[in-house]
Each structure stands twice: as structure tokens, then as C-alpha cells.
């Protein structure tokens, strides 16, 4: 069986690495048909730091590139690249039987492995997608496999492939992924452990029929943050709040905004943030935003 994909494209990883753990992500893409994009490419990501990019036969390390030869030696890159490329060719051949001849097809594979801490392996996941839909998914955690196969393949055909694949997974893919992850963690310590504190603004805007108050935290890293709005000292319930999505700033930091529609009322509003970079919870009262001015960088976006 050949494993397939989905479009997680270039979103920062969400599940892993909120806690103390770390993960290595490899997202590869194969395009069949004429486009201006490379036929075959992949991106390697350590937590949410892009560490390398491969296209048209060349691997381009990103960021800190000194001393990484033993992590990404050329045999290793070639081995992985050839393997993935051939696997795409097989999948494409398999799926092409029911496709239009001159159509443009995109295949992707996502491979993720996790370390819960330096000695404990978390889950390893492989997802394949074709034309934007997941076709199969394999997860290995605590010595157990779980898998989903969406392709229309009979059990007789699937079973032997799956057994062989499981064996390779345990003996080869998982150990290789984990040792690569550990190597990157050593080489990229400074990036992985970097901290940037959130700059917070809490502001109010008039809109039709009332006001919208918004609390914006930006410029922080790592990405995990707790941003809470309070009304008279009580947390405002989630269903009243809009926003809350984590967005990348493009410089490796993140932002998050939470908003609330209010009418002209006499309640007191405040916003609190907790983040790894702060020794204590930061609390800002609406209207007292000036006191926090020293926290406000000129990078803040006002929408
Ligand atoms: C967010 O809140 C949860 C629950 O109280 C806590 O476990 C977690 O450590 C907090 N995260 C941060 C970054 O402060």
C-alpha cells in the first residue's frame, strides 16, 4: 500500500510542542502536470521552525546552518528523497487509472514524529493525500498502530503491504526520524528555546449598535499563550468571544486576538495573558491601556 496525504500546507503544527515535547515534520509534495512549481519538493520543520527545504535535487538548509552536516548528510538526504519520490510515482500510477489524462494532480505526504522528552518517544504519524483529500493515515504510539485507509483497496491486497510497512516503520522510519529530531534539537537549541514576550493592547472601537473590545497579543514565542477576557473580574465565556486564532507574524513570532461585542455598559473589562516568557500574569484594564504603553511595540497591527 502506498500511503497518502492532505493539505496541512505550511500551517504551523498545532498538536505537538505545546508542552515540553518536540516534533519533526516532513511535508512532501509531488505535482503531476505542467506548473511553475517544482515537480517534487519537501519542507522539514522542527516544532515550528523551518530547518530545510528540498527542491529539484538540492537541499537548502534554513536559518542556523553551521555544523549540521551530521544531521543532514547528503546520503541521508538522497536516501529519503529517492524513497519519497519513488513512492509518489507508485501512488500516482495507482491513482491515475481513474483520472483524466491531462489533469493536474497534487500528492502529498506528511510525516511527523514526536519526543515527549529527550528519552521518551511520542507518536509517529504518516498521512497521505491526493488531490487535497486524505487517502490514508497511519499512527504508531505506545507500541500500537492505528490506521485509516480511505482508498478503495481490497483487504487481500492491503494486508500484506500493511504488515510489511509496519515492520519497516518500527525498524527503520521511527528510529531514523527520532535520531534526526534529537540531532536537530542539539544543533538548534538556541532557536528551540528562544522566548519572546507578548506585547498586549486592549482597545475599544465603536461599531453599529455598540462597541467591540479587542485584546491583542503579538510578538510572542513559543506559540502557546493563554489570553482571557474578564467582565467585572469573571472570565467571559467562550461563546461570546470571537477570534482566538493563532496567527504567524512572519518573523517567527505569533499573534492572537480576542474580541467581544458590548453595548454601552458600566461593566469593567480586563484582559489577561500568561506565557512562558512572563514570570507573572499580565493584566490590562480597558481604558488603562496607556499604563502598558511600554509593552507596546510599533509592530502591533491595528485592524
Ligand atoms: C494555560 O492554562 C492552562 C490551564 O490553566 C495551563 O495548564 C497552561 O500551563 C497555561 N499555559 C500558559 C502558556 O500559561
- pLDDT tens-digit readout, 125-177: 999 999 888 988 999 999 999 988 877 777 887 888 888 889 989 998 899 99
Atom 4 of ligand 1: nearest residue by CA position: 226
pLDDT greater than 60 at residue 83: yes
Lowest average pLDDT, out of 25-29, 53-57, 206-210, goes to 206-210
What's the pLDDT score for residue 104? 86
Check: pTM over 0.75? Answer yes or no.
Answer: no
Q: Answer yes or no: is pLDDT of 251 > 90.
A: no
Q: Where in the chain is CATH 3.30.500.10?
A: 2-192
14-18, 164-168, 204-208, 253-257: range with lowest mean pLDDT: 14-18
The protein residue with its alpha carbon nearest to ligand 1, atom 5, reads 226
CATH architecture assignment, domain 2-192: 2-Layer Sandwich (3.30)
Instruction: Tell me the average pLDDT of the chain.
Output: 83
Q: Which atom of ligand 1 is nearest to the CA of 224?
A: 13
Round to whole Å and give the CA distance between 125 and 151. Answer: 18
**Among 35-44, 110-119, 280-289, which stretch is predicted with the lowest mean pLDDT?**
280-289
- Determine the Cα–Cα distance for residues 22 and 116; give it in Å rounded to an integer: 7
Residues of the chain with CATH 2.60.40.10: 199-295
CATH architecture group of domain 199-295: Sandwich (2.60)
Which amino acids bring their CB within 6 angstroms of ligand 1?
A: 224-226, 274-276
**Ligand 1, from 228, 238, 274, 283: best to mutate by most atoms within 8 Å of Cβ?**
274
Amino acid at each position: 500500500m502506498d500511503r497518502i496525504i492532505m493539505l496541512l500546507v505550511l500551517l504551523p503544527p498545532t498538536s505537538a510542542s505545546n508542552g515540553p515535547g518536540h516534533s519533526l515534520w516532513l511535508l512532501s509534495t509531488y505535482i503531476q502536470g505542467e506548473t511553475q512549481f517544482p515537480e517534487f519538493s519537501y519542507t522539514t520543520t522542527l516544532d515550528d521552525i523551518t530547518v530545510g527545504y528540498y527542491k529539484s535535487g538540492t537541499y537548502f538548509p534554513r536559518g542556523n546552518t553551521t555544523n549540521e552536516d551530521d544531521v543532514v548528510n547528503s546520503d541521508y538526504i538522497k536516501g529519503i528523497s529517492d524513497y519519497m519520490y519513488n513512492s509518489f510515482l507508485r501512488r500516482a500510477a495507482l491513482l491515475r487509472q481513474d483520472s483524466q489524462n491531462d489533469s493536474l494532480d497534487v500528492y502529498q505526504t506528511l510525516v511527523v514524529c514526536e519526543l515527549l522528552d529527550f528519552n521518551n518517544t511520542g507518536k509517529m504519524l504518516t498521512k497521505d493525500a491526493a488531490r487535497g483529500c486524505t487517502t490514508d493515515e497511519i499512527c504508531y504510539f505506545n507500541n500500537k498502530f492505528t490506521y485509516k485507509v480511505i482508498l478503495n483497496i481490497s483487504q487481500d491486497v492491503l494486508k500484506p503491504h500493511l504488515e510489511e510497512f509496519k515492520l519497516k516503520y518500527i525498524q527503520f522510519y521511527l528510529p531514523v526520524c527520532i535520531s534526526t529530531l534529537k540531532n536537530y534539537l542539539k544543533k538548534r537549541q538556541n532557536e528551540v528555546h528562544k522566548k519572546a514576550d507578548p506585547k498586549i493592547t486592549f482597545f475599544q472601537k465603536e461599531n453599529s449598535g455598540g462597541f467591540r473590545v479587542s485584546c491583542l497579543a503579538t510578538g510572542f514565542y513559543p506559540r502557546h499563550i493563554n489570553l482571557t477576557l474578564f467582565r467585572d473580574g469573571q472570565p467571559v465565556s467562550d461563546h461570546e468571544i470571537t477570534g482566538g486564532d493563532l496567527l504567524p507574524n512572519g518573523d517567527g513570532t505569533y499573534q492572537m486576538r480576542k474580541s467581544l461585542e458590548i453595548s454601552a455598559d458600566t461593566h469593567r473589562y480586563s484582559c489577561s495573558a500568561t506565557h512562558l516568557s512572563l514570570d507573572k500574569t499580565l493584566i490590562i484594564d480597558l481604558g488603562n491601556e496607556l499604563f502598558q504603553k511600554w509593552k507596546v511595540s510599533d509592530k502591533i497591527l491595528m485592524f
